[in-house]
Amino acid sequence: MLKTEFYTGTFILLSVIISLISADAVFEEKKNDTSVKTVDNDTFVFYVNYTGSDKPCIIARFSAAFQITYLAQNGSSTTHSSVVNMTKPDKYSGSCMEQNNTLKITFRDQWILEMTYSNHKSEYALTRAKLTYKIDSDLFPNATNLGLNDAENTELSEFNVIVGKSYKCYSLSKIDLNQNVTIDFRNYQAQALIKADTKTEGFDTAVECVADIVGSNKLVPIIIGIVLIVLVALVLVAYVIGRRRYRPTYQQV
């Protein structure tokens, strides 16, 4: 009996120590995701500043591609679809209101991507995105309706995070604007609703999307931790049941 208790005790202690170490490793990695660095050629960085100040309310870094369905003439009238990457911005601007911050990016001459982050209680999210795009014969082969179009979604709730933190998702995030336009964000990290005069550069602690956590080896320590906790629970339950089962025998003696 004493031997079993000794083994169980040692096992529990070891499990707790290992779980604590794994949790710490995960936390440690998160604290590092604060620099606003570009990842490749297609990734762009944006600082939207308060009026008359060089302090930002939005810091964002991402690459974007747009999947666009359009009407084309190929014998008969059909719909085709093209994927168009965001290119180096011609210019960008934005606004820093108390309840919402907007980023407006102009690229490919007349294309415009607008993103609005809104505050809700202690959190903020991307709540609106609008793309103005130009159907031309280069990017949209055999297109019939050439010219400017737009697609907007004002009911989004993406990249949700607590004010004072950034949101990071290097994996693909798909956002539908309407039935014809989908935005593919990659290498995304952004922080909005940054209070006036608090910072000039660098993100605060990042909350990561599930795909990033699953896609990296960060999941391994988490799984080991969970498996150990389950094992400990099972051993404890078996131990308690074992003791109860034998009690009547003791009472009869």
Ligand X SMILES: *[C@@H]1O[C@H](CO)[C@@H](O)[C@H](O)[C@H]1NC(C)=O
75 in contact with ligand X (CB under 6 A): yes
The site map against ligand X for 51-70 (x = CB under 6 A) is: ---x-x--------x---xx
Span interacting with ligand X, options 3-11, 12-20, 39-47, 206-214, rule CB under 6 A = 39-47
Between residues 32 and 122, which has the closer beta carbon with respect to ligand X? 32
- Spell out the SS3 assignment of 56-95: EEEEEEEEEEEEEEEEEEECEEEEEEEEEECCCCCEEEEE
42 in contact with ligand X (CB under 6 A): yes
- The answer to whether 170 and 186 are in contact (CB under 8 A) is yes
44 in contact with ligand X (CB under 6 A): no
38 in contact with ligand X (CB under 6 A): no
Q: Which class for 50: exposed (0-12), middle (13-18), buried (19 or more C-beta within 10 A)?
A: middle
The site map against ligand X for 86-115 (x = CB under 6 A) is: ------xx---x-xx---------------
Q: How far is the CB of 19 from ligand X (least distance, A)?
A: 18
Buried b (16+ CB within 10 A) or exposed e, 142-153: ebeeeeeeebeb
183 in contact with ligand X (CB under 6 A): no
Strand partners for 207: 167
178 in contact with ligand X (CB under 6 A): yes
Between residues 79 and 252, which has the closer beta carbon with respect to ligand X? 79
Interface with ligand X: number of residues (CB under 6 A): 34
Buried b (16+ CB within 10 A) or exposed e, 205-231: bbbbbeebbeeeebeebbeebeebeee
* Amino acid letter, 90: D
| Cα–Cα dist 90/112, whole Å | 10
Among the listed residues 167, 166, 157, the one whose alpha carbon sits nearest the alpha carbon of residue 126: 157
81 in contact with ligand X (CB under 6 A): no
Query: How far, in Å, are 115, 119, 238 from residue 129 at the CA level?
Result: 5, 15, 54
Q: How far is the CB of 162 from ligand X (least distance, A)?
A: 19
205 in contact with ligand X (CB under 6 A): no
Between residues 160 and 200, which has the closer beta carbon with respect to ligand X? 200
133 in contact with ligand X (CB under 6 A): no
Binding site for ligand X (CB under 6 A): 28-29, 32, 40-42, 47-49, 54, 56, 65, 69-71, 74-75, 79-80, 85, 92-93, 97, 99-100, 116, 118, 128, 141-142, 178-180, 200
